[in-house]
Structure 1
Amino acid sequence: MAESGKRDVVFYVADQGMKAMIGAFLDRKDFHHKLDCGPFVFDSRRDIKVSDNKDSELPVRAGALLQSWRGEYERAVVVMDHAYQGAPPVEEIRKRIGDQLEGFWPQYAVVVIDPELENWFWSDHTETIKKALVWRPSKGDERTPRQVLEDAGLWTPGKDKPDDPKGAVDYLHRLKYTAPKNNGIFRRFAEHVPSVRGCRDAAFRQLTETLKGWFPPSGSTTTFMTTTTTEYGQ
């Protein structure tokens, strides 16, 4: 808890899937070691707020929607997908929301996942992905999720991610390779992923670098002010 009596950071996210993944990861006792940051006060039941609005409305209304928590929190993080109809470039979304937060929140970050949350799911951690999906291929099929998607032409060999991260999950579900589709896949993945240091997704890197800047590891004197002008993966 900050010296002001306010809680450390509020996460304002666009949907329940984001709450499941971010909440499950930050609820882990070892999360600060995984992120190489210092510990901070966090409780997913309290510190993640889920928007009732569509992704497309957040660039217009995020500042107003966060107003009611200014007295309770020191910092704010807005997380949303980029994959919605008519979406402007990622940097334009960051700027629009940042303009609304500037002057009201001394420290804030705007994280726009391109294209969407499933991009954080697909990784090199095959066994974690299987556990998250509740992987259940037919007898004799020993392929990994990646191999199934490559054979279907949905994952280009040599690429880090499927060509359509969300469509890849939908495909596996339709073919009964997985348990019923719900936000549990994000929670299970975040609970069991052994490391996130190899993740090269620009939005995830932005989030982790922001938290490291706000909450430096013990012994560090780093200070950090996050704005939407920082470039990642551009």
Structure 2
Amino acid sequence: MKDLVVLVADSNMKAAVQTLIEKRYKSLGICQVQADVLVHPRRDPGIFHEAHIFLQPLRNEYRYALVMFDHEGCGQENRPARQLEQEVKERLEQADWQGRCEVIVLEPELEAWVWSSSPHVPKVLGLTPQKMQQILQRFPQNRLGKPQRPKEAMEECLKEAKIPRSSSIYAELAETVGLQNCVDPNFVKFRQTLQKWFP
């Protein structure tokens, strides 16, 4: 039986999560884990509606299941993310994942994890720190001082640097950016869940 299956909404999320679990497990404060990261073919809405159906056949192959999708684009944006997490988790528990599953709805989306004070962020995005700051100033900030529209901010930076968006960027960010100062509530939940399961 493997340790963990992670169900995610797209290849960018897969690249980030796989890199974090495989290469940054020490920084996450967990032991080495045998994990598979699977992408749902119908992305965020597919995960919201069908995560339990997708994962039920795997219930005897893995000890734990982690489900992650973006709030933005899941078709349920008018409802609180915590409520969606609870709903998907209840369905998973009824599908034989009782006591060994967790759901993280990323608000508004995965790109919220990108924005940290790490010097690696501008480097990976192909910009000087000054140029990146200039671009970020065009975007309203949330209470954590990050852009409220994180995906658009990232796309703007990549456009400026003439770099096409790809999963490898997410993997490189996950591999290089320091994790200790990340206060994003979704990231904290991700780290704490893994620490609880794999101390």
TM-score by length of 1: 0.77
Check the 8 A contact 1:131/1:188 in 2, yes or no. Answer: no
Deviation at 1:158?
8.4
Question: What value does the CA root-mean-square deviation take over the aligned residues?
Answer: 2.0
- Indicate how the Cα distance of structure 1 residues 177 and 26 shifts in structure 2: closer, same or farther if over 3 A, else same: same
Choose which of 88, 106, 117 in structure 2 pairs with 1:113.
Answer: 106
Aligned-partner SS, 1:110 = strand
SS at match of 1:9: strand
Taking the aligned partners of 1:144 and 1:204, their CA distance within structure 2 comes to 26
Once residues 142 and 148 of structure 2 are traced to their aligned partners in structure 1, the CA distance between those partners, rounded to angstroms, is: 10
Query: What residue in structure 2 maps to residue 201 of structure 1?
Result: 184
Displacement of 1:101 in angstroms is 1.1
Distance 1:89 1:158, change over 3 A: closer
Residue 199 (structure 1) shift: 0.9
Task: Report if aligned partners of 1:10, 1:49 keep a CA contact under 8 Å in 2.
Answer: yes
Correspondence for 1:74: 63
**Structure-to-structure mapping, 1:103-182, within 5 angstroms:** 103=94, 104-105=96-97, 106-125=99-118, 127-133=119-125, 135-136=126-127, 143-150=130-137, 153-156=138-141, 159-174=144-159, 176-182=160-166
* 2:169 partner letter: I
Specify which of 78, 82, 88 is matched with residue 91 of structure 1: 82
Cα deviation 1:163-214 (Å, max 9, x = unaligned): 210010121233x324212222111101112x21211111111111111111
* Structure 1: distance between partners of 2:144 and 2:65: 33
What are the Cα deviations for residues 118-173 of structure 1, in whole angstroms up to 9, with x where unaligned?
00111110x2112321x156xxxx724123321xx215498521121001012123
Looking at structure 2, the residues matched to 158 and 94 of structure 1 have their Cα atoms a distance apart, in angstroms, of: 22
Structure 2: 5+ residue stretches without partners: none
The 2-side partners of 1:63 and 1:164 are apart by: 30
Instruction: Give the SS at the match of 1:143.
Output: helix
CA contact (8 A) 2:22 2:32 kept: no
**Of 19, 28, 31, which residue of structure 2 is paired with 1:24?**
19
Partners in 2 of 1:95 and 1:159 — Cα distance? 24
Distance in 2 (alpha carbons) for counterparts of 1:20 and 1:49: 10
Task: Find 1:61's aligned residue among 40, 47, 50.
Answer: 50
Give, in whole Å, the separation in 2 of the partners of 1:172 and 1:158: 21
User: Any gaps of 5 or more consecutive residues in structure 1?
Assistant: 1-5, 217-234
Q: Which has the larger radius of gyration?
A: 1
Query: Is residue 68 of structure 2 the alignment partner of residue 36 of structure 1?
Result: no
Q: CA deviation at 1:50?
A: 0.6
TM-score, normalisation: structure 2: 0.89
CA contact (8 A) 1:132 1:186 kept: no
The Cα of 1:56 is off from its aligned counterpart by 1.9
- Residue pair 2:8, 2:43 contacting (<8 A) in 1 also: no
When the two structures are aligned, how many residues end up with a matched partner?
Answer: 195
